[in-house]
A = this chain, B = another copy of it.
C-alpha cells in the first residue's frame, strides 16, 4: 500500500536560494506517513492515545531536484520493513506531472512506550495493528 499526499510549497518553506529549504522534506515525509497510517486503518493520534510513540532512529534524504514556492508536489509513502521493535518507511517526492522524483528517502522509527519512552514489542502489545501494518507491505 502506498499513500500519495499533495503538498503545495509554502512561502515560509523557501530560503534565500529561492528553493524549498531541505529541512522541509522530513516534515513532508511526516505528512505522508500520517496519511499512510490512516489508510492502514488507524490515526497516529489514536496510536499515541493507545500509548505508543514512534521517535526517529534514522533519516535519509537524497535531493535530486529542487522544489519552488507554489510548486505542487506528490509525496508517496509506504512501509518497507516491519519488526517487533522497528518500522521503516520509504518516500518519493515528485513534482506534479513529472516522472522522476526530486527527492527519495527513508525514515526508521522505534516503537516506544508513550510514558517511559522505553522500547516495546509492537507485535506483542498491539498484535492487530502490527498485522495490518505487515499486510500493507508490498511484495
Contacts and interface: CB of A to CB of B under 8 A. Distances in A.
Contact of A15 (B12, B57, B63, B68): B12
A63 B58 contact: yes
Contacts of A48: 16
A11 B53 contact: no
Interface residues of A, number: 38
Interface string A57-77: 111111100101110000000
B44 A30 contact: no
Contacts of A10: 27, 30-31, 34
Interface stretch (A17-25, A79-87, A121-129): A17-25
A14 interface: yes
